[in-house]
Structure 1
Amino acid sequence: MAEKGSGNMENNNSDDAVSGRIEQILCQPCSSEDKQTVADVFCSTCDEFQCAECSNVHNTHAFLRNHILVKAKEVKTKQVAFDMKGLDQCDEHQKVLEFFCEDENQLCCSTCAIVDHRKCHSVVEIQNIAGRSASASSKLKVKLHEVREKAEKIVQNAKTSKERLDQDVEEVSLTIRRMRDDVMKMFDDLEVSIAKDAESFKTETLDKLTKKQTDSEKHIANATKSLETIDNVDQNGTPSQKFILEQIMKRQVDVLSSDVDKECQNLETVTISFDFDDTIKLPPLPISYYVPGQLTLKCSSSESVKPITPFDPIVKLTKITSIELEQTGDDVEEPLYPGLDLLPDGRLVTIDNKNKKCLIYNEKLEKVGSYQLSYKPRSVVVVSEEEVALTSGGLYKIDFLRVSKSNEITLNRTCKVTTKYDSICMKDDRHFVVGTYDDTRPVRIVSLSGEEKDFNINFPNKKYHLNTSACTYIRNSDKIVLTDKNDHTVYIYDITSNTRVVVKDDQIKEPRSAVVGPSDCILVCSNGTNSIVQISQTGRVLSSYKLDMKLPYRVCVSKNKSLIAVSSNMNGGRKLQLLKVT
């Protein structure tokens, strides 16, 4: 008799093969009651072979009717579940991860989905989306290989430095001994003193190198273990398990990669030497009066991994193409673009406030897509490869639109908010930084699911009216940039220290919008001087580029900082331009 509840099959073995014998699959529910009934169907959701009688529950209960049944004879084998060793369990509720919240990019168990994500608009079953990103695990593996290679480089550097230190310290002692015959006792004292300093330096440096080596060996072990896990899941796991592992590994790999990259940037070769003073005197003197030489300690970085020195490179802009924004077709008024952003593939998304539209342009600034809105949009930001978010000012909402590769635009979802928002940019993968108007909190944080909160910054008690201020966010240094059009000022707020830099300059007149450019510099649309002004994070004006347009209004920059797009707001002469950044 076959074992209970295990997807039983009676197979033809060479020892007992009988002519004409047919392979039989038994009903699992019946087998659990010690009955041997031939299975008629297989339910992939229940993960069971069932006979006709047992499978009737799918017709009896409404919640089972969406299960997919296939004939048992068409299912040769069932996929064996792969042991994820707890990776597919919710840390908080210890339940299997069955859902994925697309709003907050988070894995959920059934309790998470009901309790923590009930307000989210897109919580889907993992098994329905698990096959979307088949190449993700290979990307993780490539990144882990890179992490391991870099960590191995650090280990090798530490070993070489330790060997060199041994040689250098030994050479110091030998150098001193060569002079011992000439200066006798004084050099005996010198050797003791210098060797002590050298050994102290060696001990201190060895501790650092040993720690660096140990840390990197751990990185190697972690990367190797992660690669083995990915390979095992790729070979044996279900699509859902692969998807779960992918989501978990993304964060782990990013942290691991960041740690190793930091260590790689700080690789250094440590040397030690001893040089005699040219004015050495032979008459013996106490060592406290005269030291005939100097112990020199050097730390030099390898040429291939020179540490990154902060600097403010001057940004140069070159116009690629330009178009006139004229009233055409079904336009009610001359177009006005108060918001624009570049998709990762180079397409430009804009909003037309006057004609209530969201538009797509290609790299030649040819209009390739359009979507009619029911309201006048205020600003737009790219959220992902195929999603953008729009602010709507006084309507108190943020719309999420899907922009397909074929330039079709559709409304995905809407988040209700409690504040009038104008400018918008990404803070991180799950939050926006938004500029307000008619509110004493000029800048706020909004999550992708619509939750609002304030920065811990002492903003002046001032309300900005519509079109008088805009903001952007510098992610790497946790700073907010806020423009004040009427005061001809740009403010740079440091969130960590709760301080600000005030930038006023003759080259900045009526600043309208700002973006983060190359090397995290700030590029500001100066409406009154018809230019793009470059500012450092310390508030220094670095350069100013005169634009071929009147009254520049909004500016955006590509993700790789190689392109910017600018719109203008001059009645009867509005333009849209694309410029190359060098």
Structure 2
Amino acid sequence: MDSKERDIGPLRCQPCLADDNQVLASFYCIDCKECQCLRCKDVHRRFSYMTGHQIVKVKPTFTKEDINRFNTYFVCNVHNRKLEFICTKDNTLCCTECKENIHKTCQNVQEISHIANKDIDDFGYLQRETDGLRNKVMTLSKYLRDTYDALNNESPEMEKLTKALTDMKEKLFRKIDNFTEQLIADGRRQIEFKSKATIKKAELSEKLVTYIDELFEDIDYWKQVPHPQNLIIRHRLAEQFKECEEKFKDVSAHLRTPGEVTLSLHNKVHSLVEHKSDIGSVYYEDHGGNLTDLSDHRAVRIELLHSRNLRRRTLDQDNLTPDITGISFLDDGKLVVIDKTNRNIRIHEKHSTDLIWKTELTPCDVATVCDGKFVVTFPGLVVFYKIINNELYEYKHTRNVLNNSTISVKDKNSYVIGTSGANVPALLITDSGQEKDLNLRLNDCSSYSSKSLFFRTRVAELLAISFKDFNCILLIDMETKEHKNVANDELIKPGYMCIGPLDTLFVCCDLGKVVHLTAEGSVLSALSTDIIEPKCISMSKDQTELAVAGSGQLLVYKIVKTDAYHDYICLNKKKEKRFQSVFY
């Protein structure tokens, strides 16, 4: 294998290559600048003179180019020398030459190795900021694309212009025909000029999205690097983030709303018929806009697919009016429905008769695990079920001390149980029955109704708690315990919630509304349903359907996504799936 193939192909263990052994590398020693396999890495650590060497993991897809790019983080952009110092006043990384020349009189320059252990890792903050900027760029990209499409769909605008000219022709003799063609051409030129400027900005914003995605992956991956290189990488990535912010400001500057072609005429046009250049002109009129006024690219709308009235009686079963307290989609698109009043679990499928099983205890909520398996909460009990040949089987159950209300999946082995009317809003329970405290406490909330939902975003694990009595939702970062109180005119008596697409969630509210909320706490939209009081909600695994239940009804809606949403999905399918939310 020649050196060129070596640079392009996957990384190989350099010590093994010396013995002509082709072994893929899994680690990289920053001090030795050497790729190593697991065996050589362990041998590497045995020698005393190599103690303290900084070793990081590398992905199987990495090439020499990725390693070279990683090494540039530790080199000064100006002098191409190793970064060893940091100016704490300017928050600037420095090499020896920078220190001796640029920061010669500065008293705030310190060695990175001396302060790295005191510095608090802040990759999470940089991740959140980068992800937030990406959402802004995606929103801007969608807006610019929509504007471009509107500009190129000239029919409505030109019809208005043509009608105005036709009306004028009736009053200004046939002479107006001489300049009608010119005015229409002017209108087209105006639109063409505007569309070219818009598509240019749209293309720049799309390139910026790609660059931010690469930056986000670098942030997420290289945060594993130990001190002191950790500090250096974070500063270098922060510099790239600032560059992205500046480019975003340039693209979003002087934002204009889609306008219209307007015909402008002189008041005394009848006396100027002989002078067509003075009769009037065509110009493109739009108005200044703000990025905050744009519709978020993650916004969706819903269309009703089918409905089921659960209050209908059957010949062999005299049901009371159902109180649906939990619904969840299975992998095959069927719905698990929890009827608290009648103590039953039903499997709903379009165009089929529901399968119904009675339970001894009162069920509360349900969450789908995988492969036809789901878990149901009862007061003080969590039961695991699976469906085999249209029969329901209990294969495991665990007990807990708190009064269960809601359940959401954290991972394949653990679940977050929400408790209503308790100062402890939620606890973690494993499939083996072990309870774990999430270290969350609420003050003076023991008498108020609340629902909890755990969900994972690209940058954090969050717990959402809805308070029906306070018309608000509390968003808590599970790692940092930072929280945000979300209140909005649309959040009227919020209750059950479910995970939505692209780091969002759906919230059941009063007055027949389902509020679409971002993980940052912004309201994307209030979606109207045909249920006066939506009680519970669930999104299908393929994110194409939304089920809403309440007042004895079950409605299934189609989730209609924007073009920007589809572009986002297509883009992320080409990347690793490590950023996707966990849906079981």
User: TM-score per shorter chain, which class?
Assistant: 0.3 to 0.5
More helix by share: 2
Answer with 1 or 2: which has the greater Rg: 1
Bigger relative contact order, structure 1 or 2, given CA contacts below 8 A and separation 6+? 2
